[in-house]
């Protein structure tokens, strides 16, 4: 790894982050290179805005593959747009780097732009500076007024769903931290989920006018569902038996090298599913009479969706086993300041 001798801030931006005008979307009137970017909103639409900051050593390992880091830095922001039912338009990137290092910047920008291009989301501006590695992306999207998906709309009797799989990212993290051992094939699979999460943008769009409340699972299912419950003034009961099947790595359980044969306690796996972070799936609610519409949204967006429980009118979050019996446990979610 060699730093680029004498590479200044403006050269750095030009070399790795300025792109041909054609790469900008129709809504971008002016991209990188002036004091501000200029965006032209689609008439009548609302703007959805979200900002996430990733810190080295806290949100990623300092030696993580910069290509996957570029992907993840944008993915976690796109996931917020997905949870809002907004269509991505553009983003700003602020980057503090210990040094202007080509061997790092090249793959980082490639990973970033590969995901940006897949979602038609243009880099419109930002900032670079020297400092401890820190990546802050602010993303913009649009959504028709009154169709934005909020956390506050869940009602007693609604079903609770999650997209995709849950817990693999937390499992990979625990393995990489040396806290658990995973067979190599499982680690590879789980690590992919940790380092290159898939923002559920298409599902979010399909859930407009279907879901009653949505959040993305960034801090852990229970914590993020907890936001929905708190902001909707309701409670929920989750089925732990179903939840266990959300662990993608669990699919390996029948094999001799599988997860459940690796003698990890079930409670530890369930903890990954329910309280592990970094999944970037959607947790959402919908009235029972919208179940067919939920399945249609899942099909239309090619995204698996699983019903894992129901909303209760009474406050509180209950986790029950297959027979409806409460499961003991401290289901504390991940908090960046806890």
Contacts of its own copies in 224-243 (CB under 8 A):
231
Alpha-carbon distance 100 to 129, whole Å? 9
Could you tell me which stretch among 81-89, 104-112, 261-269, 284-292 binds its own copies (CB under 8 A)?
Answer: 81-89
CA distances for 301 relative to 178, 226, 261, angstroms: 36, 26, 34
Under a CB-based contact definition with an 8 Å cutoff, are residues 318 and 235 in contact?
yes
Return the number of the residue (87 or 290) whose C-beta is nearest its own copies. Answer: 87
Return the number of the residue (128 or 165) whose C-beta is nearest its own copies. Answer: 128
Long-range pairs of 32-41 with CB within 8 A, sequence gap ≥ 24:
32/123, 32/124, 32/125, 32/126, 36/125, 37/90, 37/92, 37/124, 37/125, 39/89, 39/90, 39/124, 39/140, 41/142
Return the number of the residue (143 or 166) whose C-beta is nearest its own copies. Answer: 143
* 35 labelled binding-site residue: yes
Looking at residues 193 to 222 of the shown chain, list those that interact with its own copies (rule: CB under 8 A).
214-216
Rg (CA), the chain: 21
Looking at residues 108 to 167 of the shown chain, list those that interact with its own copies (rule: CB under 8 A).
124-132, 134, 136, 138, 140-141, 143, 145, 148, 150-152
Return the number of the residue (183 or 226) whose C-beta is nearest its own copies. Answer: 226
Is 8 a residue that touches its own copies (CB under 8 A)?
A: yes
Helix (H) or strand (E) holding 23: none
Closest distance to its own copies from the beta carbon of 259 (Å) = 30
* 284 labelled binding-site residue: no
- Strand pairing of 281-286 and 159-163? antiparallel
Return the number of the residue (124 or 186) whose C-beta is nearest its own copies. Answer: 124
Annotated binding-site ranges for Mg(2+): 35, 50-52, 80, 127, 216, 219
């Amino acid at each position: 790894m060699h730093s680029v001798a004498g590479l200044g801030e403006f050269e750095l931006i030009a070399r790795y982050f300025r792109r041909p005008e054609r790469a900008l979307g129709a809504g971008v009137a002016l991209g990188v290179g002036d004091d501000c970017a200029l965006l032209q909103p689609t008439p009548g639409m609302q703007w959805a805005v979200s900002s996430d900051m990733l810190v080295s050593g806290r949100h990623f390992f300092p030696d993580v593959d910069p290509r996957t880091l570029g992907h993840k830095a944008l993915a976690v922001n796109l996931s917020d747009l997905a949870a809002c039912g907004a269509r991505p338009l553009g983003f700003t990137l602020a980057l503090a780097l210990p040094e202007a290092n080509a061997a790092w910047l090249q793959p980082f920008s490639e990973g970033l732009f590969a995901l940006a291009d897949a979602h038609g989301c243009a880099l419109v501006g930002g900032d670079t500076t020297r400092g401890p590695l820190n990546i802050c992306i602010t993303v913009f999207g649009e959504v028709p007024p009154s169709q934005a998906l909020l956390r506050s709309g869940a009602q007693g009797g609604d079903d609770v769903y999650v997209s995709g799989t849950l817990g693999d990212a937390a499992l990979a993290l625990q393995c990489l931290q040396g806290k658990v051992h995973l067979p190599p094939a499982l680690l590879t699979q789980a690590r992919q989920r940790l380092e290159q999460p898939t923002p559920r943008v298409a599902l979010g769009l399909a859930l407009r006018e279907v879901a009653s409340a949505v959040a993305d699972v960034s801090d852990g299912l229970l914590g993020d569902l907890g936001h929905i419950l708190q902001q909707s003034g309701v409670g929920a009961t989750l089925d732990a038996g179903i939840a266990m099947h959300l662990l993608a790595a669990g699919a390996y359980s029948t094999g001799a090298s599988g997860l459940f044969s690796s003698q990890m306690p079930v409670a530890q796996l369930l903890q990954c599913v329910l309280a592990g972070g970094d999944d970037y799936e959607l947790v959402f609610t919908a009235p029972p009479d919208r179940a067919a519409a939920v399945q249609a949204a899942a099909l239309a967006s090619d995204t698996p969706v699983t019903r894992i429980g129901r909303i209760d009118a009474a406050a509180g979050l209950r986790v029950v086993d297959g027979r409806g019996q409460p499961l003991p446990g401290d289901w504390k979610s991940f908090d960046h300041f806890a």
